[in-house]
Amino acid sequence: MLEVNAPYDRSVITQLPTSDKASLEKAISTAHAYFKNQKQWLPVYKRIEILEKIAVIMEERTEKLITDAAREGGKPYTDSKVEVLRAINGVKLAVQCLSGFHGEEIPMGLTKASEGRMAFTRREPIGVVASVSAFNHPVNLIIHQTVPAIAVGAPFIVKPASATPISCLNLMEIFREAGLPEEVGVAHLCDRDSAGFLVTDPRINYLSFIGSGEVGWKLRSQVAPGTRCGLEHGGVAPVIVFDDADIDAMIPQLVKGGFYHAGQVCVSVQCVFAPKGNARDIADRIAEKAKNLVVGDPLDPKTEVGPIITDWELNRVGEWVQEAVKDGAQLLCGGENHSATCYKPTVLFNPPKNAKVTQHEIFGPVVCVYGYEHPDEALEIINNMPYGFQSALYTQNIDKAFSYGKQLNATAVMINDHTAFRVDWMPFGGRDQSGLGLGGIPYSMHEMSREKMFVFKTPAS
């Protein structure tokens, strides 16, 4: 049995039965048999009908989805509401994307050897998709890891995070009510060993993994030959502030981007580099706002920063902060537990460059500010990190924005906006140790499908 605890008070929400290898074997066999028999495949119009019904039912159950997500995941109610509304829009977006989901004509006749031929491609489902999800966005991540598969016609098996399975089960109930057959999509709650059995099975054609790099890269090394992977990990979400930045506009953005969901976001603002002349002032202003954030029960609409997901993670965040302070970082605010499950929003000034809070994703409510003599110093530190995900530049100079944006090792550069900005139709993913492949509804649809080319030899061409 899996015990699900509320992160805020660690109380037991429910206990749920878990899957063993036998039940996973049955699920894989069923999904694989469905994929191998094209006569069973749901036609596009039927998939659209199902997705449209899913969106309608989700809208009818918005309050339950929000409350369950906030309670089991610890994200404040107001932010969980944004997540659920985004998830509903993501379902609608998949329907919209299907109208442009197609192959293309491949030109022939460009050489004598290709004369008398015509060719085109079409996109087909990749096969069985195994989706392993994370806790921090328990509704929207499941949507991103299942709805693109439904849209393209790929059967899927989804494993939610052990900490937040209720939201996934809520969605699977909605999928079933909307008409999605069980052989097309199921959820399984299982331990790490059983999950390993799922993702390494040779009948799995695509692995979607969201979580720690340590686990994700290990799983990738174990998948069967031919299994494609999409891995979404994290980074330190670096920010470079230039001397011409609009500081007044920037501070609230960095506070939101750094402390949203207690920093438990893969692109949460973590390392802010600013000119030495005003770096301390910037750090103080961030700290002043951080001190006034409401920390507490995620179900209280006034709460802005909720709990850390587990005691282990709470202790780890505290240890990293204390280590940085011991080695010379200046603690401007926070640096201790707010309660038994919450950590105070923390701002550190000039931690050592080799500190864990500088070199690794802290995944907690901690923002570090560093002073630099020249922005190239910040660029060098950032580009020497093993991560590359979303980053940000604050400047009013378009030349600086393009020059440094080009040089940053990142998959996305936000100009005058925080690193945690995301909409669900944009490409989203990391490079280097931060991940592999791209998420975002249309991009996941592409990843969960593959192209087949037809070449006709005919004088009619």
The residues that are catalytic are: 232, 266
Assigned token pair, 404: 């440094």
Cα–Cα distances (Å) from 24 to 176, 197, 416, 432, 456, in that order, read: 19, 8, 47, 32, 42
By the 8 A CB rule, do 387 and 235 touch? yes
Q: How far apart are CA 223 and CA 204, in angstroms?
A: 9
Nearest to 355 by CA among 418, 270, 265, 278: 270
SS3 410: coil
3-state DSSP helix/strand/coil % of the chain, to nearest 5: 45, 20, 35
By the 8 A CB rule, do 376 and 402 touch? no
Instruction: Give me the DSSP letters along 48-73.
Output: HHHHHHHHHHHHHTHHHHHHHHHHHH
SS3 185: strand
Q: What is the CA radius of gyration of the chain?
A: 23
Cα–Cα distances (Å) from 166 to 13, 206, 274, 275, 459, in that order, read: 9, 24, 42, 46, 59
DSSP H or E run through 390: strand 390-394
For residue 2, the cross-strand partners are 16
What is the CB neighbour count within 10 angstroms for residue 370? 22
By the 8 A CB rule, do 126 and 154 touch? yes
Assigned token pair, 93: 């977006």
Assigned token pair, 317: 């965040």
49-81 as b/e: b if 16+ CB within 10 A = ebbebbbebbeebeeebbbbbbbbbbbbbebbb
Distance from CA of residue 33 to its chain's centroid? Answer: 30
3-state SS of 292-334 is: CCCECCCCCCCCCECCCCCHHHHHHHHHHHHHHHHCCCEEEEC
